[in-house]
Structure 1
């Protein structure tokens, strides 16, 4: 069994900063753009369709734990700078916010790879400030440009503690389609394995 990679950055101070930035005086909002859409693993009071500007969903983050291993890395989504992204904003009641965010940190930030950011989420009921897990192109976990053959190989072989990269990507696309959200880039990637 492979060992968990060492953290890139200590996730604890990052959690403390996120909790401080939120402040705990109002409900907590989380922006989901990947597996949080179909498997949030936390209770929420409300879920709204949301769009963030200046960021886009990209299957360009190495996963050596959740969807791959150090020997056979998989991929997960990162929110990269540029463009826009449709997803969902989840509202967590204020009194549960700290516990939910701490639990979510264990899932999303075991190695401190993401750059958590508070983003303006445009929803049909108005803008909300939501925490999103973004990825820097300077991160060692950013894949850079991958060839079609590399994607095919990853889709056919990579699997981690939560399952395969292929299942993760396919389930995300299925849920996006279920909510009439189009992701042409993800559609093209998944056609590579048909």
Structure 2
């Protein structure tokens, strides 16, 4: 599948008659909220883990030197914490462009930190997109992040801002924190 998923996403869901929908953010959507929302609440989704397994050619790297950003990988029993935003469907005009590098919108059940559940959408870069990098040792991922820079800034900034946001949410994302530790150790 092509890394440019804009048109694919626009055909995936029919928002006719829908005034608002929940969106789950687990990466930069937690801290870079450049879209209007109606409500924001800490939430989690079940059966997924956050991994720096997706290349960023358009935001945190270039085609010649891609950065690494997070996607979700299925893992039974896992819980991924993040932020839920109740948004108007019109927000996806912007977000489909922002998340175009291999990310598709999927339905998911969100569990709110305060209790309760809701159906919503989440962007996931699946392993069949051409920008999917897959598993690598965390020290190797940290080295790639250390040198990558793209139109949205240094890849290291993405990692550090995400790690800080996860701590604020009370998430124990050992993968993110191990990469952060490697990066700090070698800088």
CA contact (8 A) 2:3 2:131 kept: no
Shift of 1:149: 4.4
Aligned counterparts, 1:22-171, within 5 A:
22-82=15-75, 83-92=78-87, 97-109=88-100, 111=101, 113-123=102-112, 124-171=114-161
CA contact (8 A) 2:3 2:129 kept: no
Poorly superposed stretches of 4+, deviation over 3 Å? 7-10
Q: CA RMSD in A?
A: 1.9
Runs of 5+ consecutive residues of structure 1 not aligned to the other structure: 1-6
Determine the structure 1 residue equivalent to 2:9: 14
TM-score, length-normalised on structure 2?
A: 0.88
CA contact (8 A) 1:80 1:137 kept: no
TM-score, length-normalised on structure 1?
A: 0.85
The alpha-carbon distance between structure 1 residues 118 and 181, as it changes in their structure 2 partners (threshold 3 A), is same
SS for the counterpart of 2:141 is: helix
SS for the counterpart of 1:59 is: strand
Count of residues in Structure 1 that have an aligned counterpart in Structure 2 = 181
Shift of 1:24: 3.8
CA contact (8 A) 1:66 1:163 kept: yes
CA contact (8 A) 2:20 2:89 kept: no
Distance in 1 between the 2:43 and 2:163 partners? 16
Distance in 1 between the 2:21 and 2:68 partners? 28
The alpha-carbon distance between structure 1 residues 11 and 164, as it changes in their structure 2 partners (threshold 3 A), is same
